[in-house]
Amino acid sequence: MSWVYLVFAGLLEVVWAYFMKQSDGFSRLIPSLITLVAMMASFGLLAIAIRTLPLGTAYTIWTGIGAVGAFIIGIIFLGEQVSLPRLIAALLIIAGLILMKLSSNH
């Protein structure tokens, strides 16, 4: 179950990163509130996950889901640049996440 909590924590990291961008430096109320709620939920789920998962594994996967997810959201919804080096970097992060999961004994 810890892995499920961890994945949802990572997805919520993507949510709060997107809405932080939409908050315009916390100057817009609704995106700011969504950011703060998603942050608290993400941190809470991460805290539950690290009760049984190794800290290094959980934190790496949490930030990796957030990084790759924010990268994808940026391209799809914010019109951010797509380039071969950025795509390769995202694939390397994904490969690292897979290796981290496979090397975990949980």
pLDDT tens digits, one per residue of 49-101: 999 999 999 999 999 999 999 999 999 999 999 999 999 999 999 999 999 88
Whether 104 contacts 52, CB under 8 Å: no
Whether 87 contacts 35, CB under 8 Å: no
Three-state SS at 76:
helix
Query: Which residues have CB under 8 Å from 93's CB, separation 6+?
Result: 64, 67, 68
pTM score: 0.90
pLDDT tens digits, one per residue of 35-59: 999 999 999 999 999 999 999 999 9
Whether 43 contacts 59, CB under 8 Å: no
Furthest CA-CA distance within the chain:
44
Domain extents in the chain? 1-104
